[in-house]
Amino acid sequence: MHVLSVSSLKGGVGKTTVTLGLASAAFARGVSTLVVDLDPQADVSTGMDVPVAAVNVADVLGSPKEKTVRAAITPSGWTRGRGGVVDVMVGSPAAINFDGPHPSVRDIWKLEEALAHVEAEYELVLVDCAPSLNALTRTAWAASDRVSVVTEPGLFSVAAADRALRAIEEIRRGLSPRLQPLGIIVNRARMQSLEHQFRIKELRDMFGPLVLSPQLPERTSLQQAQGAAKPLHVWPGESAQELARMFDQLLERVLRTGRVGEFATSEIPTQQPAGRLA
Ligand SMILES: Nc1ncnc2c1ncn2[C@@H]1O[C@H](COP(=O)(O)OP(=O)(O)O)[C@@H](O)[C@H]1O
Ligand SMILES: [Mg+2]
């Protein structure tokens, strides 16, 4: 089972968008997937067409017993009439109660403990994280073997990505040796924008192959699919399909990096020419 946290220490940069895109790619590929909605905003649950649930991720964080874990997991509405396994551990605003700045070690391992009960049922677990480095994100990372850092190509993106990578390294050293960065996913890139080109170059100069390809362009089709709570891969139009292929490539990268020690930067696909994204 691959467990990937989708993180950034900032809100609004595209964590949920990336989680939804990867979940859609996994669904299209027939990879049995669990999406854990750890953000108290619970946007990924909405995007995956899952109703508000009486038992949800907050209950799991309170007590990660098998019965509670199973009760908090619901099939995504995406699978209705289509089959396939894409489940959601349903999010809740109550998760905010577990986002304190000083979690105990026991709290930090609660998601890992919870996932152990259902580990045999999924090939992939995606965790949509809260935009901070408080307890929820650390709980997510302790349960993960990879973290992807999402960033926009903006003025502070290098600093933001750097902070996130350092935080991952700190957790790896102090808590969970298997944790590795998958890399930086650049979202909302406008390749016609000189400013964006400059920022992407800056990221590459600083982080080299940790800047993943392809970078995701800004597209309204993404928002439309999200608004309709449909997977991107079934959304009509060329723009949605172009993005779907990009998420296929990113998913490939997630599934290729397996166990500890397999992380090889030389495997990272070469950058695409900027024109492809324009
Ligand atoms: N590549 C993109 N193209 C167009 N809109 C995007 C893109 N990425 C994100 N958005 C939109 O920006 C908003 C914030 O993105 P979201 O994924 O919710 O960020 P986060 O989860 O990090 O807070 C959402 O309305 C989303 O639809
Ligand atoms: Mg979000």
Asked whether residue 278 is domain-assigned, the answer is: no
Protein residue closest via CA to atom 27 of ligand 1 = 223
Nearest ligand to the CA of 217 is: 1
- Closest-approaching ligand to the CA atom of 17: 1
Report the CATH number that the domain containing residue 51 is assigned in CATH. 3.40.50.300
The response to whether residue 215 sits with its C-beta less than 6 Å from ligand 1 reads no
pLDDT at 70: 98
Classify residue 263: in a domain, yes or no.
Answer: no
Whole-angstrom Cα distance, residue 133 to residue 205?
25
pLDDT at 125 over 60: yes
Residue 266 domain flag:
no
Q: Which two tokens stand for residue 175?
A: 């808590």
For the beta carbon of residue 267, count every other beta carbon within 10 angstroms: 11
| 109 has a pLDDT exceeding 90 | yes
Average of per-residue pLDDT across 264-273: 39
13 lines ligand 1 (CB under 6 A): yes
Six-digit token string for 119: 């580990």
Taking CA atoms only, the protein residue closest to ligand 1 atom 10 is: 14
pLDDT value of position 264: 43
**CA 210 to centroid of ligand 2, rounded, Å:** 22
pLDDT in tens, 41-88: 999 999 999 998 999 999 999 999 999 999 999 999 999 999 899 999
d(CA 90, CA 60) in angstroms, rounded, equals: 10
Domain assignment present for residue 39? The answer is yes
What are the tens digits of pLDDT across the range 197-247?
999 999 999 999 999 999 999 999 999 999 999 999 999 999 999 999 999
Could you tell me if residue 273 is inside a domain?
A: no
Cis amide linkage into residue 214, ω under 30° from 0: yes
Q: Is 11 in the pocket of ligand 1 (CB under 6 A)?
A: yes
The one-letter amino acid at 178: R
Q: Is the model's pLDDT at 270 over the cut of 90? A: no
267 in a domain, yes or no? no
Q: Which residue has the tokens 């089972």?
A: 1
Distance from the CA of 222 to the center of ligand 1, in angstroms? 8
- Across the range 5-13, mean pLDDT stands at 94
Total structural domains within the chain: 1
User: What is the pLDDT at residue 257?
Assistant: 79
Give yes or no for residue 43 CB within 6 A of ligand 1: yes
| Res 102 pLDDT > 70 | yes
- Assigned domain for 262 exists: no
Angle at 84 between CA 82 and CA 89, to 5 degrees: 110
The answer to whether residue 216 sits within a structural domain is yes
Neighbouring CB atoms inside 10 A of 227's CB total: 11
Residue 148 has pLDDT above 90, yes or no: yes
Distance 220 CA to ligand 1 centre (A): 10
* Domain coverage including residue 24: 2-256
Interval 151-178: pLDDT, tens: 999 988 899 999 999 999 999 999 999 9
Please say if the pLDDT value at position 2 is more than 70.
Answer: yes
Contacts 24+ apart (CB under 8 A), 233-236: 233/24, 233/25, 233/27, 233/28
Q: Say which amino acid occupies 25.
A: A
216 lines ligand 1 (CB under 6 A): yes
State both tokens at 64. Answer: 């990660």
Higher per-residue confidence, 278 vs 107: 107
Tell me: the pLDDT tens digits for 234-260?
999 999 999 999 999 999 999 997 544
